[in-house]
Amino acid sequence: MSKYSISEELLGSKWKIRLIRELINEGEINISALVKRSRSFFKNATEYLEFLKELGMVKEKRFGKVRIVVINQNSETYVLLKRLLEILDKS
């Protein structure tokens, strides 16, 4: 990966930013609700969530067919993104 690949993958589109905002605001959310709120497509969102899991930002719980995404508040990625969004929202 180039030095920009992770940042581009992390924040490369509006729906990704909306998805991250929803995760940060909710802390724990059903994947279907997250897809709806972020106005994304299920396939894209699940692929992106896999990327966030690899970064250690989210964890997933399963209850039968129900999948819940949980933010990892100890993740450095979470802390940095939360702060970045707070700063941008003030502007």
pTM exceeding 0.85? no
Topology of the domain covering 14-90: Arc Repressor Mutant, subunit A (1.10.10)
Domain spans in the chain, listed from the N-terminal domain onward? 14-90
> What pLDDT does 9 receive?
61
Q: Does position 91 have pLDDT exceeding 80, yes or no?
A: no
Q: Does position 4 have pLDDT exceeding 60, yes or no?
A: no
Q: For the residues of 30-70, what is the DSSP string, one character each?
A: EHHHHHHHHT--HHHHHHHHHHHHHTTSEEEEEETTEEEEE
User: Range with the lowest mean pLDDT among 5-9, 18-22, 57-61, 66-70?
Assistant: 5-9
Encode pLDDT of 71-87 as tens digits. Answer: 999 999 899 989 988 88
Q: Which of 53, 54, 30 is nearest to 42 (CA)?
A: 30
> What pLDDT does 27 receive?
94
Encode pLDDT of 12-61 as tens digits. Answer: 788 888 999 999 999 999 999 999 999 999 999 999 999 999 999 999 99
